[in-house]
Structure 1
Amino acid sequence: MKHLYRTLSQPIYDVPHIFLLLLFETALTSLVVSHIPYTEIDWVAYMQEVSAYQNGERDYVNIRGDTGPLVYPAGFLYLYSWLKTLASNAAAAGRASMESGDDFLELDGSTSPIAIRKIQWVFVVLYLVNSVVVTALYQRVLSGMRQKQRQRDEQNCSFSALVWTWRFAMGITCLSKRIHSIFVLRLFNDAPAMLLLYLSMYLFACCDAWALGCVVFSLAVSIKMNVLLFAPGLLLLLLQRNGSLLGTIRHLAICAVVQIVLGWPFLSTYPVSYIKKAFEFDRVGVGVTFVPFGYIGLVGEEMVECIHGSAKTG
């Protein structure tokens, strides 16, 4: 039994393990879509915002849905415009249900049950691709651990236990109720944004493709600005990778150019409105909402005074 335990931890069994995980993911996600009711939260608002954009509106202040004004960058509009087209085509194919009043908001049928079910299956594909990318990142780390172990020229039970622990961690990622919900039951834009983020990580870590990775990272930001929370880590990695400030600035410029190109229809017409609404830097995330605003202001003032004092003494 001990021999089998160590044998199955060998690299040759990594691919079958990953295949079984993805097969399980496919079956589980399909069951979720088929048996758990869709939860309407933001999809109708997304379609309302996209419709305003498709009707020619370029002022972000005037692009809004039931949940309020649009607060996502331009990449969101482009992606969900495509999804709206898919949804409308699906609704047109089932026009009988539309005529019975399903499409009560008249958004080209994009909010009818038939349309939403079609988009759910699109998000199933996105979820499975996301699982492949995340699993590849896990596998990259495992390969690095194996390489270090080979340098020590030993293969003991403790390392086999580490391999199985890592595989177990990979399996746990398949069981997240929240991630399944975000992707296939809520259709949130977090889903494609995080997929692109993980893909950029894969390009950085596994392909050494830093320029392309920066493009993909910026595309993720263009769908949901929350991805910028990863920017400090990316900045550190770029500084380590380039070894110089100039090379880092070049990669950051790639990210900036992507944002300018995607946002140009809005930047060239209502730039202040776009920057203010698409990148609401004044919003406080849920991670710090427990801190009183007065305390945040006090801490901010103290930090400014400390920095100013350090500059004087320096």
Structure 2
Amino acid sequence: MAPSKKSKESFYAKMLKKIKYLYWTYANKRFVLSLIFDPRKLHITVFFILAAELILNVVVINKVKYTEIDWVAYMQEVEGVVNGTYDYSKLKGDTGPLVYPAGFVYIFTLLYYLTELGKNIKVAQYVFGALYIIMLYFIFNIYSKSKKVPPYAIIIACCTSYRIHSIFILRMFNDPVAMILLYISVNLFISGYWKLASVFYSLAVSVKMNILLFSPAILLAYLCCLGFKGTMIQLSICAAVQLILGLPFLLTNPWAYLKGSFDLGRVFLYQWTVNWRFLPENVFLDRYFHISLLTLHIILLLTFLKTFKVCLQSYARLKKIETDVDRQLHKEEKFSMETSCQLFILPLFTCNLIGVACSRSLHYQFYVWYFHTLPYLLWCTPYSNVWRLIIMGAIEFCWNTYPSTVYSSAALHISHIAIIYGLYRNRPNEKNHYIKEVNNKNT
């Protein structure tokens, strides 16, 4: 039976009404501006950013000349393992001995085979381009859940991150690989998958030791959220991952493996330093200078300890409320307090920034250690948006000054101090606005 004229008119009227609704909801200035300025709309904006980044990476790979720094050395180091050498003291490349844990060996051995024994650079670049997009996805997921940072800050960061793109697709360092695993673990932590998160965190450590800069905050998170018994379980998982990955090397020459991959006393070359160029070389290399930096690192961590504890205890309480309420709802309903993850993220990112600021030396590839956390940290300070962007721009300028100068390295320290001071001034406690802000957003 054919539909009546009246039913057709009714159908077209409904369609027209729907089109008008979509037009007035999305095709207007207010909605477009919200995609730029509203943190709650970041989950939409990120798709445009990821698409733009995908295109940009392909263009850079095909148009900008690749520069060899460490890739050949990486391939030489893993080639030794491929050929049956498990003694770390005998694994070397053009830039020196192998100084990374076992996770690095396994991941770059996979890359060794994917790139025709390390010879196909173009394939390697595309792999790192894909890794960059994957990392951005996990970072944006953290930012989207926190609803803290306006989209335009993320857009500006991505548009100005020349050095970060270079670290990935023009240099192919191992630092990005470690950071991808780290951000995956953070996503798992804030989603409540503690055991799997611990596995990925330990995997990140197994690629490069800088991931340990997050460890004081993660240990405190274990204690505040899981208690002593739960903490022991998570630490056992982390230790087990390290033991399993390192087993072939530990069985061959345990001392060489531990000394080579977890050498806390390594001395860096003055010629590559980004952050201490304003010091004379003899001071830079002085043992007491390194001890002073370690002391400062510990003092700053202790200064923020109460802040970290307040954040993580508040986070644990909010997650418990979420669990209790969720149990009372029907299966098809879901209660979530997503923005509570702000209280988990802040200690982690702050802890890492303190470690970076107190580092014995920062090389250009180390920028990826904390670049993607800067917008979040800056939006946790009491500064105006203009000053936040100025600080972010100053840091980008310092990392893009090659070779580093007295002024660029001094400016980098001033920027780090400004952020740390701002975080301290605006530090969360049970009485100030930060905790109330998170609670209000969740309710």
Scaled to the shorter chain, the TM-score interval is 0.7 to 0.9
Query: Structure 1, residues 154-201: CA drift from partner, whole Å, max 9, x if none?
Result: xxxxxxxxxxx6111221332211111111111101111110001111
Q: Where in structure 2 are the equivalents of 1:63-102 lying within 5 Å?
A: 63-88=91-116
Unpaired segments ≥5 residues, structure 2? 1-27, 277-282, 296-443
- The residue that corresponds to 1:237 in the other structure is 221
| Shift of residue 256, structure 1, vs aligned partner | 0.5
* Whole-angstrom distance in 2 between the partners of 1:299 and 1:225: 18
Residue 51, structure 1, aligned to residue 36, structure 2: no
* Whole-angstrom distance in 2 between the partners of 1:36 and 1:195: 24
- The residue that corresponds to 1:34 in the other structure is 62
The residue matched to 2:115 in structure 1 has which SS?
helix
- The residue that corresponds to 1:129 in the other structure is 134
| Shift of residue 298, structure 1, vs aligned partner | 7.6
Question: Sequence identity of aligned pairs in percent?
Answer: 43
| Shift of residue 225, structure 1, vs aligned partner | 1.4
- The residue that corresponds to 1:149 in the other structure is none
The residue matched to 1:40 in structure 2 has which SS?
coil
The residue matched to 2:252 in structure 1 has which SS?
coil
- The residue that corresponds to 1:209 in the other structure is 193
Amino acid corresponding to residue 186 of structure 1 in structure 2? R
- The residue that corresponds to 1:268 in the other structure is 251
On the 8 A contact 2:181/2:201 being kept in 1, the answer is yes
Segments of 4+ moved more than 3 angstroms:
1-16, 284-292, 295-301
Amino acid corresponding to residue 123 of structure 2 in structure 1? K
Residue 118, structure 1, aligned to residue 123, structure 2: yes
| Shift of residue 290, structure 1, vs aligned partner | 4.1
Change in 2 beyond 3 A, CA 1:247/1:291 = farther
Q: Where in structure 2 are the equivalents of 1:243-258 lying within 5 Å?
A: 244-258=227-241
TM-score, normalised to structure 1's length? 0.75
* Whole-angstrom distance in 2 between the partners of 1:185 and 1:293: 34
How many positions carry a matched residue from both structures? 257
- The residue that corresponds to 1:197 in the other structure is 182
* Whole-angstrom distance in 1 between the partners of 2:167 and 2:234: 31
Q: Which structure is richer in relative contact order (CA contacts within 8 A, separation 6 or more)?
A: 1
On the 8 A contact 1:138/1:170 being kept in 2, the answer is no
* Whole-angstrom distance in 2 between the partners of 1:6 and 1:258: 46
Residue 60, structure 1, aligned to residue 65, structure 2: no
Change in 2 beyond 3 A, CA 1:230/1:28 = same
Residue 259, structure 1, aligned to residue 242, structure 2: yes
* Whole-angstrom distance in 2 between the partners of 1:297 and 1:67: 27
Change in 2 beyond 3 A, CA 1:28/1:5 = closer
* Whole-angstrom distance in 2 between the partners of 1:200 and 1:135: 14
State which of 276, 293, 300 in structure 1 corresponds to 2:287.
293
On the 8 A contact 2:103/2:203 being kept in 1, the answer is yes
Change in 2 beyond 3 A, CA 1:129/1:3 = closer
RMSD: 2.7
Change in 2 beyond 3 A, CA 1:237/1:123 = same
* Whole-angstrom distance in 2 between the partners of 1:182 and 1:11: 28
| Shift of residue 83, structure 1, vs aligned partner | 0.6
Amino acid corresponding to residue 111 of structure 2 in structure 1? L
| Shift of residue 217, structure 1, vs aligned partner | 0.6
Query: Structure 1, residues 226-280: CA drift from partner, whole Å, max 9, x if none?
Result: 11111112112111211x2222121111100000000000111111110110111
The residue matched to 1:223 in structure 2 has which SS?
coil
Change in 2 beyond 3 A, CA 1:263/1:23 = same
Query: Structure 1, residues 264-303: CA drift from partner, whole Å, max 9, x if none?
Result: 00111111110110111112576678484234558989xx
- The residue that corresponds to 1:166 in the other structure is 150
Amino acid corresponding to residue 201 of structure 1 in structure 2? V
